Chains A and B, each alone.
Chain A
């Protein structure tokens, strides 16, 4: 480990970290924007969910590198080529969580809202979606952390990220550069994760004391199975 490498290359490391953050966060946000209406539709029309679920699990099995390459003829060697597949992966994680979150709203709560005169739309926006937030954010955490970590693979097709340090460090046979890249990806992922945990606490103040519920969400059976990878 040659510590002087870090201050000497601070500007480069900062720039790569920002690029990596954009490539990781944009897909998670786009995934959320698409997953919420898709999830609502799957809950509203139950027959939609099985085909949506099986197509996302097939999509999820595809290696990210293969998907980047599929897009090269259409979007070139640009950020978009990395962002589209990572958005699709985020969707695969988020849609089941949106559906589970909405379905986890207790029936008495739904009926109480109806009895108070809430229409379907108002009940969805003011009651069901807020109660689904913990499960949706659990999915968003998986999507964000995986996207940040996967974005570095985009370096193989020349899309700049912290992956630059991996490729450059390999060519120069220079472990320090690899350590820096490795640690920065993990720090970036954990920082994004922390922000989402804090966001969840702010958005769902009623949950604050229920630490057990938090644990339950994060170890929901099959969460790791369905929501992961690469």
Chain B
């Protein structure tokens, strides 16, 4: 039997869809953990990234952060936190937030740094205050990269939240980790299919967010170039 037939057979069994460990509950849990982590990471990383890009100070730190980030083993960080902190909300929240910060920070930094100097001069010439220039020119012009950073972080967080089932977190990773432990491949396959679908849904959501957030003028320029 193929992966798809295992996954499909497991998914269409009605009892998976009910109760406190049913699929709808697990999906909501997964979205909850991911959303909360992403929100906290964005609250920290967006202002910081914009500030660094605007002032140009601390750029060295950002570049190195980006390089170091990829080498961090996510499973290792989760397990380490679980052992050091015991199983509490912090033991999964800290790793998820820490891992979501770099892509948001670096892309916000790159986006604001890359804003055309002429644009800023024009804004100043029109009498805009420094804050107006930042919020009405630099941030909107940087918005494609800012959204890209948030999307990367979101995809990363959804994947890492799956692995966090290994340290006892709920969410869709439960089916995978529990299924592997009891060697029930259909459950593992069903969980993996749901996680993959959720990751794709998140990506589609960010295509829509990009459409809403990125100013029309920038989108037209991107299309014509």
Contacts and interface: CB of A to CB of B under 8 A. Distances in A.
Given A152-B76, A163-B75, A170-B82, A228 B70 contact: yes
Nearest to B110: A221
Given A153-B74, A153-B163, A225-B145, A70 B3 contact: yes
Contacts of B192: 65-66, 69-70
Given A156-B166, A156-B177, A182-B80, A61 B73 contact: no
B63 A166 contact: no
Interface range for B: 35 or more
A58 B73 CA distance: 23
Given A69-B176, A182-B77, A63 B159 contact: yes
Contacts of B18: none
A61 B200 contact: yes
A157 B74 contact: no
Interface residues of A, number: 55
Interface string B1-45: 111001000000000000000000000000000000000000000
Interface in A139-170: 142, 145-146, 148-149, 152-153, 155-157, 162-163, 166-167, 169-170
Contacts of A174: 83
A77 to B, nearest CB: 10
B180 A63 contact: no
- B71, B83, B111, B173 — most chain A CB neighbours (10 Å): B71
Q: Is the interface of A mostly helix, strand, loop or mixed?
A: helix
A221 B199 contact: no
Interface stretch (A38-46, A100-108, A117-125, A186-194): A186-194
A63 B162 contact: yes
Nearest to B77: A182
A142 B66 CA distance: 10
Contacts of B151: 225
B73 A181 contact: yes
A70 B106 CA distance: 32
Nearest to A221: B110
Contact of B70 (A67, A72, A146, A178): A146
Contacts, number: 171
Interface string B133-159: 000000000000100110110011011
A224 B107 contact: yes
A145 B148 CA distance: 21
B93 to A, nearest CB: 18
A66 B180 CA distance: 12
Contacts of A149: 70-74
Nearest to A72: B185
Interface of A: 57-58, 60-67, 69-74, 142, 145-146, 148-149, 152-153, 155-157, 162-163, 166-167, 169-170, 173-175, 178-179, 181-182, 185-186, 189-190, 193, 215, 218-219, 221-225, 228-230
29 contacts: A60-B155, A61-B199, A65-B163, A66-B192, A66-B193, A66-B196, A73-B1, A73-B185, A145-B70, A149-B70, A156-B163, A157-B180, A163-B73, A166-B75, A166-B79, A166-B80, A167-B79, A170-B83, A170-B167, A175-B80, A178-B80, A178-B83, A182-B80, A222-B107, A224-B102, A224-B149, A224-B152, A225-B151, A228-B69
Given A66-B193, A178-B80, A230-B159, 4 more contacts: A156-B163, A170-B166, A182-B76, A228-B70
